[in-house]
Structure formats: C-alpha cells, structure tokens
Structure 1
Amino acid sequence: MSADIRNVAIIGHKGSGKTSLAEAMLYVAKATPKLGRVDDRSSFLDDTNEEKEHAATLEASVASLSWGGKKITIVDTPGEGSFLAETRLALAAVDAALLVVSGRDGVQPVTERVFGWCREAKLPVLVVVTKVDAENARPDEVVAEVRARLKAPIAVVEHPIGEGSSFRGVVAIRTKKAWLDKPEAPSAIAPVAIPGDVAGEVERARGKLVDDVAGTTDELTEKYLTEGDLTQSELDQGLREAMRAGSITPLYYASGTRPAGIAALLDAIVELGPAPEMHPAWRGELPSARAGGASGGRDPLERAPKDDAPAAAFVFKTSIDQHAGRTSWVRVLSGVLRPETSMLNASTGISERVGKISHALGKEHKQLEEGRAGDIVAIGKLKTTLSGQTLSDEKHPFLFIAPALPPALFSRGVKFEAKSGEDKVAAALHRLAEEDPGLAVHQEEATRELVVSGLGALHLEITVERIRRRIGIDCHLGPPHIAYKETLSAKATGIEGKHKKQTGGHGQFGVCIIDMEPLPRGGGFVFEDAVVGGAIPRQFIPSVEKGIVKSMARGFLAGFPMVDVKVRLHDGKYHDVDSSDAAFQMAGSKAFKAAAAKCRPVLLEPVVKLRVQVPSLHMGDIIGDIISRRGRVTGTDNVDDQAIINAFAPLSELLEYESKLKSMTQGKGTFTMSVDHMDVCPPVIQEKVVRESGFKVAEDED
C-alpha cells in the first residue's frame, strides 16, 4: 500500500557522509549483513570500479529497507558537482530528502544548490548533521551555518551528547528516546534512559520544539495557549504538516561510521516523512504538446498518485551492464505497472515492452509481480527509453514535466592513439550518454572532431576511465577545436571564374562572372541569378551555385565554413560542345575563391552568454578575470550575500573557466553559459588561428 512506503533521496556536498549514512541505515535495519564502508571499498552502494577507485558516489544508487512496518526506499545521490544531473532527476522521483551536512565542514556549495532544488520542488527536507564524532567536529557552529546560509526554518529535534571523540550518542527531543554509549546495530538498537545531567536541557529543547510547531497553525496555537502543551500525537502531526508546507525543517545528528543516531532518523522518516499518496498531483502534459520540440501551448495535465489512475512511470536512472543489459529505475507515478505489458514512451512516442520488474540492493534484485503508485522499481531491458523520460498507459498518455538538468558546458575533443578505434570509442560514448543524463556526445560538423561534453573536468575524466575499462581502447581528452566560421567584410564586383581544359575528346569549358558581398550576421547564403540573354544556359546556372556552395563549405582562410554571403551571377560564357555541369561547377568555385581574396575575409568566433554566481566578496576579482578573457560585463546583481554577473565572452577564452572559477572562489562559484552569437575575431586572434590551422586554399584544376 502507498501508505506504507517512504521514498527519500540522500543529498549533499561530496564528502559530507551521505553514503556512510545510507550504509548505516541499511545495516541497522538488517537490509545488509554488515556495515558497508566507503574507505575500505566495502560499500554496497558505491559498487562500480570507478566509485571504489575514487572513494566517491558517481551515480545514484537505489536500495530498500524495512523499518517500523514501512518500506523505505533510499536513493543515494552524487554530491560532486560534475555528477549532479543524476541527483536532479532523483529528487523528482522521491517524496522527501535527507540533506546531509558535515559536522566538520559545514555548508558547502553543493549543499546550497541541492537544497535550492528541494525548495523549488516544494520537497520536504530533513537536515542531518553527520560526522559529529569526527575530530574537529563543530556541530553547534554548523547548525548556525545551516540557519544562516540556507535561510531555512530549522527546528533542532535531537540533542547530541558530546562531540568529536567524546560523542556518546543522541537524544530524540520529539520522542524523548536516547541511544547512547555503544554503536547501533541490528541487535542493539533499544533506546535507554535520558541521562540526568541533560534531562533539563532536553526538556527545555522539547518546549522550544512544541512552541515552534504550535505556531504553524491557528488550531495548534489555540490548543497550546489554552493547555500549555501539545500531545505527542498533536506534536507529530503538526511537525509532519509543517515539514510538508516548508515552514519547519527538522535537524538531526548522526554518525554513519560508528553508527549512531540512525534509529532515531529511521523513526523520523517513518513517522514524519510523507507517504506517496500525500504527494500533490503530478504535473504533466499531452505527449503531442511537445511535437517538434515546442510546448504547443496546450493546457497542463495532472495525474493523481493513486493505484486506480492510468499507469505512468518516470525514469530517473538508467544503467547498462554488458551482461545484464539495460536496467531502468522508475518511480511509479500512478496506476499499476506490470511486467510483459506494452507502455507508451510519452517523451518519444515509441511503444516499449516492459520486462521484469524488481527492486534491488546493490546488484541483488528481487523480482516483483507489479509496481504500484508510489513504488520505486527497476525495469529490465527497455530498448529506447532514457533517463528523464516518461512511460504511460497507451490509451491515457501522460508526459511528466521533468526538472531541467544542469547544462553540459565542459567540452573536450576525444583524441586517439590509433584511428582504428574511433568508431568503437564513439559507439561506447553514445552508450554511456544513454546511462548518464549529464553527458553529451557529438561530432563537430566543421572540424570532424568527436566532442564529449559534461558537467565538469572530473565528469569527463571518469567517462574516459569507463571507456578504457569497457572496451580496452586507450583514448584521451584534449581541448576541442573551436567551431569558427568565416565571412566577408567587403564587396567585390565583376569577378571572373573560368574553367577551360582540352582533352582528347570533348573539352571542358565554363565561364561565370559574379559579384560577391557580405550579408548581415545570420543572413546565411543568398544566390541571385541575374543572367540575361542566355549568356549561360539555364541548366548550368545551378551548377555555378553548387560549385560556390562547395567552396564555401571548405572555407578560404582557415578551413572553416564561410557564412553570410550573397553572390550575384550576372554574366558568363559557354561552349555548345565542351560546356557541362562539372565545368560550370569548377568555374563557380574559381570565381568564389577569386572574389573571396578581394572581399577581405574575416574569421568569426562563437561568443557565449555567461552567468556567474559567486559570493559577493569575490565579485571584483571575477569581473576583472572576465574582462581579461575579452569578455564584456552587461550587468550585475546582488541577492543576499551572492553576486550574479552577466557577461558575454568568446568561447575560446572559457575552455578552462570551470577550474579557474573554482580556484578563485574556493569552490563556491557556479556558472552557466550558452552560445549566443558569432562575432569577428580580433586580428591578432585571427592570425593565430589561421597560422595554427595550416590551411591552404586548394588549387582548382585547369
């Protein structure tokens, strides 16, 4: 039943203790036979070779446990900025989040970012301060940081006994239960009496909690003012509703490695966390509303999270194993999902056959007969469905509106030791992109270079590691070739292109005379036929245009396509026997090259629209750095202690911007960028690009 399910994502900055907390939850709840640890590579959740090698969560992991008669499904998510696309999708598939904050390191950049996503989605959040038993732990300071930096209505619902090496355990203020002096384990999780030396402090803290909860509704306020207290049931119900409304964010303490504070946290998930049936109706639209990539202006749809509604499921994670094949993790939004049935991929319009349905812990899967509204399950061997897409009942199509993913802005060209491996590497990269929603792969049309794009340098480094391990072909990454273009800056008139060649049989003869001039940026290519009097037969005029277009694609300065050009063909000559399509193509090509030499060709470079967010104290340094990169700042804004800088800058100057921004802001700066327009390169940059290209205009045969 939906009422017996709790779905939570574990989120936070890398190294905050997310996976250790998840492993402790599984162990204490008897879902795993031992306590998995990240440091000795025994983690059940971080089970890929790359995760074990880097001792970090690089992709979302799903596991289930049973506690208090409820099924809790946890989704452990990456906290490294390069892998947050999976975190973003996971948050769309759960009903609450555990925001993990290190009791030693405090609030960090990703902490703020993922909490912002929760606020945006109106997702209930429990904050968990971890590593309270670590050396240099400072839990009180961290709680103050959480309040100040996240601007969250924090209610401390636990009292830690000691900190650092003197940490003994926790007292749950809400329930007045204590777990002290020994690690929690499946056979040792019974609460103990509250120590007398902290009993008064706990009672005062509980009074503060009751006061906070009572202030969230008029009904509770009246009850509190009348009777001076709330019953346990009223306190729990009030806190549950305040969490859902975002008016209170409970804060807990825990150690994942000891473990401690785990039982109280599991109690809170069961007793305070929302069941799937409490989720607001899912927002979506008709699949046809996105035909052609546009919304179509259709009214939005809603789908109730109930078993008796038509079936719909959101795919939030995809994994592809060379032996097991493709596995898709889905949140059943509504209805009942059954194996061996046909579903519509509402994102693509393609019908999919649903294979086996299961839930899993690590690589162990348990087959299910069905998945009901609220379940998070794995589906085997979907053929085309990717992360971020929706499966729905074919007769009642529904496309869930998924959250926008962080853009893949960090790009690198893929370099090969041997050309023979290029096709295999390209295929493997495209396969990885099907698994990883933050990865994009394409071949640059202008340079014929295979380019892979991701959310950061580490993201692409891990991608290359996966390629090497999966197919055994060595490749590495280098700066991508910038997709420059060429254009004209002057007009030339009366330029002749003549092709004359005599052979043993028929010769080749064609002459065309053209005018050529630049068009406004974005004008493309315009070919004007102004030939009169039959100077060139009608059947050969398209041949002239074809020859010019081919030469434009090869460029004139550095081998990049030429754009924004107008050609006017107004005269020429032909021969009754020797003129042909090929002859006039050659004539058009020669005319173009001769005209280009007189039209002062220039190089165009892509310019991006840049938006940088940094702590206000770094704003001056960041603006100076942008200007040094030939950037132009168009505006700034301040939101609390954050500065937002909008600018335009050449893409070639931003290839290493991510690492530079991190070093300048101690990892606290973020940015987004998108190619906005093309602009003329400064002469010194043009000269450098032309020189490095080694391009020479090919001589046409006479």
Structure 2
Amino acid sequence: MDYNPEHIRNIGIAAHIDAGKTTTTERILYYVGKIHRIGEVDDGTAQMDWMAQEKERGITITAAATTIYWREYQVNIIDTPGHVDFTVEVERSLRALDGAVIVLCAVGGVEPQTETIWRQANKYNIPRIVFVNKMDRLGADFEQDLEMLKEKLSAKAVPINIPIGEEENFVGVVDLIAMKSLIWNEDEFGAKFDIAEIPDNMLELAHKMREELMEAIADYDDELMECLLNDENPALEVVKRAIRKGVIHHDFVPVLAGSALKNKGIQPLMDAIVDFLPSPDDLPPVVGTHPKTGQEIERRNDPNAPFSALAFKIAADPYVEKLAYLRIYSGTLKIGGTYLNPRTKKKERVQKIFRMHANKRDELSRAFAGDVVAVAGLKSVATGDTLCDQHKPIVFEKMEFPEPVIFVAVEPKSKADQEKLNRAILRLEEEDPTFKHRIDQETGQTIISGMGELHLEVLVERMVSEFGVQVNIGTPQVAYRETITKSASARYTLDKIVGGRRQYASVTVAVEPQEVGSGVVVVDGLPQDSEIPVELRKSAIRGIEATKESGTIAGYPLLDLKAEIVDADFDEEQSNEFAFEMSASQAFQQAIRQAEPVLLEPVMKIEVVVPEQNLGDVMGDLSARSAQIEGIDHRSDGEVINAIVPLAEMFGYTTKLRSMTQGRGFFTMQFSHYRRLPPQREEKLLLKVRGYGKG
C-alpha cells in the first residue's frame, strides 16, 4: 500500500480485565483476513496473546502490535493488557497512539481499570470511541453503561448505534447514522449481516437517540447545522464529518454496541475506527525540546522533515535479541540509517525494520512519518527514549512510570544461574520500567520489585522459560518508603588520610518535604559563579542520588522530598570526586535524620463484587483489614464495594474472598498512593525489620 498518512490510523484497544478486549481484536483480525480461524482467549489460541504466560492465564500481559487493512485504510493496532499489574503497558502505548477504542463489559460498565485508562488517555489527549461488548451476557445493560460513562468519566458519550435486544435476545444493532438495522447471521462467524429497516418496536427509541446524536454534533459542521435548522435530512457524509470533528477535538465520544464472542457488531466498530479516529495528519505537530539549549521545537507529520521517533516499548526477541517499537513522528526511517539517542548521546544504527503481527513480522526497507514499526539493531535504547536526526536533534517529553509496590528475594540455584539471572534482570528492566532490582547490602540477596504479585510471578516465569534461570523465590513483601515531615539542613566535612593521601570536602545539604507523588528532587543550589569545579559538584549530586535509595529508619527508599546542595568548600590540592561524593552523602543522611523521617505504606484502591447475601461477611473482613469503605453500589452482577486498603493487609485475599462467597466474589486492586504508616503498625514493622518479631 502506497504511503498516505490520511489513510493511517494508530490506535490502542484497552479495557478493564475480562471486558473482552482481546476477543474483540481477534474478531477484527479474522474479518480482515489476518487469521483463518478465530482464536479464543479461554482455550489459549488467541493470536494477540502470544506469550506462554498469556496463553496459560487467558489475559493479555504485553502490548502486542499488529497492522491490518480495512477498506482503503492501514490500521496499526496495539492490544493492551487490562490487568492492573500491567498498567504501564497501557500508559506507554497510549503515549505513541493517535486514537483509542475503550472496550466496556455491558454488565460491569465502567470499572476501576476503565477509569485508570480514561485518565491516561486524557493525559495524552487521545481521541476515543467506546465499544460496549458482551451485549449477549446475562445482566447486559446498555443504558446503564451510557450513564456510567457520563457520571464516572464525565464523557460526552453518545451512541451511534444501539442494541437490538439484550442478553440472549441480542441479534444486532440499529445504525443511528444510516437509520437501518444490522442483523448478524448465526453462521459464518458473523462475517455477513443483513441490512434491514428498523423494527417497529424500536422506531420511537431510534428517532429519539438519533435526535440526541444530531444535537451533540451539530456545532461541528455548518452544513449539518443548516440541514437541521431547515428540517432537512443531512447526507451520511455530512453526519460522519461532524462526528469525526467532534472526536478529534476531544469533545465527543461515539458509543457502539456488540458482542465479540458472538461475532456481532465488529464491522461497524471497524468502520468507526477509520471514519472517526484521527490520522497522523489530523493532529497538531508534536512538541519537543533541543537537547542542549532546551528550546521548544515542533515536528510535523512529514516524511521529508528531520527524522524523529519515540521508542514506546522495548521487547526481548528470540531472533534479533531486542526489538524497539517506534512511533515515527517525522521524517523517514531507513535500514542502515544512523540516528541519535539524545539521552545517551550515542548514535544508533538500524539493522532491520519490521511490521509486526503479534509475534510474526514482515520486513520493510523503510518507514515513514505517522507509522508504528519495530526495529532491530538499537543497542542502548530504553522505553521512553527519543530517536532523531543527529544533525537536527530533538527530545520528546520523558514518560513517567509509577514506583514498584511489592518486592521479593530471588536466589539462583547455582553459580551458573547467577550469570543467567543477572542477564535476565538487565534485559527485563530494559523492557519494563516498573520492574526494578537491587542487591541487599546486608544479605547479598537479589531483590526484584514490581507492581503486584502477578507482575513478579510472570517475570520470574519468563526468567525460567526465556533465559533458562533456575531460582528460589522468597515470600512477596510490601515495598515501604520513607519521607520527611519538616525541613532541615546538615553539613559534613570529610578531612582524613585515605591510602596515604589527605582527602578533603565539606558540603551542606538542605532537605524539605514535597507534595505526594513528587519523588526525590536533587538540586545543585550553589551559585553559578561558585569556585567549586563542575566535576566536584556533579560528584556531590551523585552522592545524594545514591543515598536516596536507603532511608535512615529502616533502609527503605526515600520519597517526596527535595535535597539541595546549599554550600560547599574545597581544597585545590586535596579535594576530589570521591571526597565530595562521600561528604554530600553523609550530609544528606544527617539532614534526613534531623527532618523527622516517617515510614510510608502503599495504599490500594479496590473494587469488590459480591452476591448480596455475602455483603455483610465481606464488609466485616475488609474492616478487619483496615479498609476505608468509599461506597457501595448495586449492579446487575452483584453488590460493588469501593474501598482503599493497605497493600500489607491484602495478601491472601483472593483465597479468603473465594471461601466467603463460594467462589462467586471477585475483586480488582490498583495502587492509589503512599501514606504514613500508623504508629502501631510502624512499631510492628520495625520490630520485624530489625529481627525482633515475625510481623
């Protein structure tokens, strides 16, 4: 297909877990001829879930990319995970995309992960459409889902089709643009449908809903407005043009109904993707900065402009070792081309360019502005890096990722396994910015941390299956943090003989609390004309950066504070980088001790869905786990409890909930924030950390 950016759509498909997102993607692949038999998530044959761990669990873990062609359009689809432990996959995919399809379960409606995805899409200004899936399920309620979109997400959500029947009577949809009904055949996997007149019993509702649609989009198109004022029926193209404008301006969210499992409603969804979601040309130029001057620079979606791209995902690959997924914003990417990574200041050479289909690929000789491709040969590129023309450099805004909330010790079973473990950890850290590791200074153990039990479980399984590492695994532990409650400063002077030479450095560090979620900010506050050489100042910063990973109460990493070097003294003969690093580190630690440090614990937002008869037992159990109940809603699939609860209290909750509800209850959990640990639990934790108790 010839390069035509107007006919490219870069989209993500995202949803709460079990909303049927991967099944929806499978149907899309089937109808465009990418696959010849429909895969099902439940039997482990879904094309987009290609990792062994995904086939086993029936959930999507990594964002798999595939390109399809529908009508005359090229659609690059990223299928993203719904499980909260893998939210970072959604975040980095949305950063690179132009539009999104949000899949809702017709029974559950807007669920916690839907809210998270919606916030992420708002953050990156992603135009979106909503597909209400599972209309065939018991308890499906399209009207309720529309209300939830408006109330919970403040979305201007308006249907462009409505379901004909619900639950087992769901047979098709009424197209509110063409005012026709689409009825799917039960055979032929839904590849064909009949276009018919709207059933008599739905005419009144259809006209009412179409009127609402016209009111919602009238302001976007003068011709449409004129037609409506003159009581004329607007042409289909005029209506579609107005919807498209509303979507691209983030003012309007079209909603469609269907059932991916029953093969109904997929073709209208595909039409909506190409008709209403933006092309790269529809969006404003992307903005970055010059790596040296910090000056703001724009890049237009133009294949002849200087090259720029964002590496939004790094993935281990069995054939080429490592793949970098790139969203190209400007210029042309060529095999053999050399491009700059401004973060590392290194040049990277492109060996191969691929168009991906889950874990299969087609080789390309070049790729243009607006496209999404995978590239082999890049040595030191990490997730969130910019790749650009070395003579016209640009840096795009860095991606921010949440801190891990859970950790576990891993021990190799042999010396040979230690080397494999080190290699596996480094590779997996390149892929996943929320996976981190450290070496415990006291025990020498390797500690890995991530976003939840499932996250770490999957990563350990990958170490075994992909890297051949045999490891023993400890019990998962909560990733506590430390912070300060007041401002303080301290000076430390290093003046002693080391290795026969006198070492001298004197540094003053001031610390002050910052707002929740701001991390640790380290600042060189010395005057620009200070006598202290730049190398020594950088060493002092390094000393603080290294020390912030271990607080003064129990050795947990520090959070939410600012550390500033406010004064320093040096000796031209006897000061060196080592002395300044040590002095700044010690001054920082002393300042932290004086700033009344406290322990913080991760608090999770949970949604628990239970049968009505079990509500009392479940509420009592949550209360015993120090949960704060935020609300209880009635839904067609049960009573819904929303609460926040300390992560430390949630270990083993899956088993407990199953036993209280005879297997009918389920819950979702996602990180909310860090908060101060209550004194009683802080005392208990410190006894455990210092070896006096079992917790």
Q: TM-score range by the shorter chain?
A: 0.7 to 0.9
In 2, distance between residues paired with 1:466 and 1:61? 16
Equivalent residue runs for 1:284-683 within 5 Å: 284-288=288-292, 298-418=294-414, 421-445=417-441, 447-470=443-466, 471-479=468-476, 523=490, 526=493, 607-608=599-600, 655=648, 667=667, 670-673=670-673
In 2, distance between residues paired with 1:559 and 1:221? 66
Of 76-85 and 194-203, more deviation after overlay is shown by 194-203
Aligned partner (choices 249, 253, 267) of residue 249 of structure 1: 253
Give the aligned length.
576
**Do structure 1's residue 107 and structure 2's residue 110 form an aligned pair?**
yes
Aligned partner (choices 83, 91, 105) of residue 88 of structure 1: 91
In 2, distance between residues paired with 1:483 and 1:181? 53
User: In the alignment, which residue of structure 2 is the partner of 1:60?
Assistant: 63
Give the conservation status (yes or no) of the 8 Å contact 2:406–2:477: no
User: In the alignment, which residue of structure 2 is the partner of 1:125?
Assistant: 128
Aligned partner (choices 10, 15, 23) of residue 12 of structure 1: 15
**Do structure 1's residue 206 and structure 2's residue 210 form an aligned pair?**
yes
- For the residue of structure 2 that corresponds to 1:308, the secondary structure is coil
Equivalent residue runs for 1:121-160 within 5 Å: 121-160=124-163
| Amino acid of the structure 2 residue aligned with 1:120 | K
Give the conservation status (yes or no) of the 8 Å contact 2:409–2:445: yes
Instruction: Report how far residue 389 of structure 1 moved.
Output: 1.2
Task: State the Cα deviation string for residues 175-218 of structure 1 (Å, max 9, x = none).
Answer: 33543141586994354213442345434432321122114567
Aligned partner (choices 169, 192, 202) of residue 172 of structure 2: 169
In 1, distance between residues paired with 2:388 and 2:191? 45
Give the conservation status (yes or no) of the 8 Å contact 2:85–2:452: yes
In 2, distance between residues paired with 1:47 and 1:538? 57
Give the conservation status (yes or no) of the 8 Å contact 2:104–2:131: yes
- Structure 2 unpaired stretches of 5+: 505-549, 557-592, 608-618, 631-639, 658-664
- For the residue of structure 1 that corresponds to 2:349, the secondary structure is strand
Instruction: Report how far residue 559 of structure 1 moved.
Output: 11
Instruction: Report how far residue 682 of structure 1 moved.
Output: 7.5
Task: State the Cα deviation string for residues 340-370 of structure 1 (Å, max 9, x = none).
Answer: 1101112322111012112121232111221
Instruction: Report how far residue 22 of structure 1 moved.
Output: 0.5
When residues 63 and 185 of structure 1 are mapped into structure 2, their CA distance, relative to the original with a 3 A threshold, is farther
User: In the alignment, which residue of structure 2 is the partner of 1:239?
Assistant: 243
Give the conservation status (yes or no) of the 8 Å contact 1:483–1:606: no
When residues 286 and 693 of structure 1 are mapped into structure 2, their CA distance, relative to the original with a 3 A threshold, is farther
Task: State the Cα deviation string for residues 381-420 of structure 1 (Å, max 9, x = none).
Answer: 3212122211111111111114422332222222444565
When residues 524 and 59 of structure 1 are mapped into structure 2, their CA distance, relative to the original with a 3 A threshold, is farther
Task: State the Cα deviation string for residues 282-301 of structure 1 (Å, max 9, x = none).
Answer: 12112336xxxxxxxx3332
When residues 538 and 324 of structure 1 are mapped into structure 2, their CA distance, relative to the original with a 3 A threshold, is closer
| Amino acid of the structure 2 residue aligned with 1:607 | L
Task: State the Cα deviation string for residues 531-574 of structure 1 (Å, max 9, x = none).
Answer: xxxxx99979879xxxxxxxxxxx9x99989xxxxxxxxxxxxx
Of 276-285 and 404-413, more deviation after overlay is shown by 404-413
Task: State the Cα deviation string for residues 13-63 of structure 1 (Å, max 9, x = none).
Answer: 011111000010111111211212111111111011000011100000111
| Amino acid of the structure 1 residue aligned with 2:361 | H
User: In the alignment, which residue of structure 2 is the partner of 1:699?
Assistant: none
Give the conservation status (yes or no) of the 8 Å contact 1:662–1:668: no
Give the conservation status (yes or no) of the 8 Å contact 2:140–2:167: yes
In 1, distance between residues paired with 2:191 and 2:685? 69
In 1, distance between residues paired with 2:393 and 2:501? 53
Give the conservation status (yes or no) of the 8 Å contact 2:315–2:323: yes
Aligned partner (choices 271, 275, 300) of residue 275 of structure 2: 271
In 1, distance between residues paired with 2:85 and 2:225? 45
User: In the alignment, which residue of structure 1 is the partner of 2:28?
Assistant: 25
Instruction: Report how far residue 164 of structure 1 moved.
Output: 1.7
Paired-residue identity, %: 26
In 2, distance between residues paired with 1:669 and 1:140? 26
Task: State the Cα deviation string for residues 457-495 of structure 1 (Å, max 9, x = none).
Answer: 11001111111212141331334698999xxxxxxxxxx
When residues 229 and 287 of structure 1 are mapped into structure 2, their CA distance, relative to the original with a 3 A threshold, is same
Of 6-15 and 347-356, more deviation after overlay is shown by 347-356
- Structure 1 unpaired stretches of 5+: 290-297, 486-519, 530-535, 544-554, 562-600, 648-652, 695-702
In 2, distance between residues paired with 1:335 and 1:663? 55
When residues 264 and 477 of structure 1 are mapped into structure 2, their CA distance, relative to the original with a 3 A threshold, is same
In 2, distance between residues paired with 1:523 and 1:623? 44
In 2, distance between residues paired with 1:280 and 1:439? 33
Instruction: Report how far residue 308 of structure 1 moved.
Output: 2.1
| Amino acid of the structure 2 residue aligned with 1:281 | P
Of 425-434 and 213-222, more deviation after overlay is shown by 213-222
- For the residue of structure 1 that corresponds to 2:59, the secondary structure is coil
Instruction: Report how far residue 222 of structure 1 moved.
Output: 5.0
Of 193-202 and 361-370, more deviation after overlay is shown by 193-202
| Amino acid of the structure 2 residue aligned with 1:273 | L
Give the structure-2-normalised TM-score.
Answer: 0.73
| Amino acid of the structure 2 residue aligned with 1:95 | D
When residues 299 and 447 of structure 1 are mapped into structure 2, their CA distance, relative to the original with a 3 A threshold, is farther
Give the conservation status (yes or no) of the 8 Å contact 2:85–2:454: yes
When residues 370 and 191 of structure 1 are mapped into structure 2, their CA distance, relative to the original with a 3 A threshold, is farther
Task: State the Cα deviation string for residues 644-680 of structure 1 (Å, max 9, x = none).
Answer: 99x9xxxxx8656688799999756644556999x99
In 2, distance between residues paired with 1:196 and 1:433? 56
In 2, distance between residues paired with 1:89 and 1:303? 20
In 2, distance between residues paired with 1:643 and 1:258? 31
In 2, distance between residues paired with 1:166 and 1:222? 39
| Amino acid of the structure 2 residue aligned with 1:414 | V
Of 257-266 and 15-24, more deviation after overlay is shown by 257-266
Highest Rg: 1 or 2? 1
Task: State the Cα deviation string for residues 155-187 of structure 1 (Å, max 9, x = none).
Answer: 111121112221112232113354314158699
| Amino acid of the structure 2 residue aligned with 1:426 | N
Instruction: Report how far residue 267 of structure 1 moved.
Output: 1.0
Instruction: Report how far residue 106 of structure 1 moved.
Output: 1.7
Give the structure-1-normalised TM-score.
Answer: 0.72
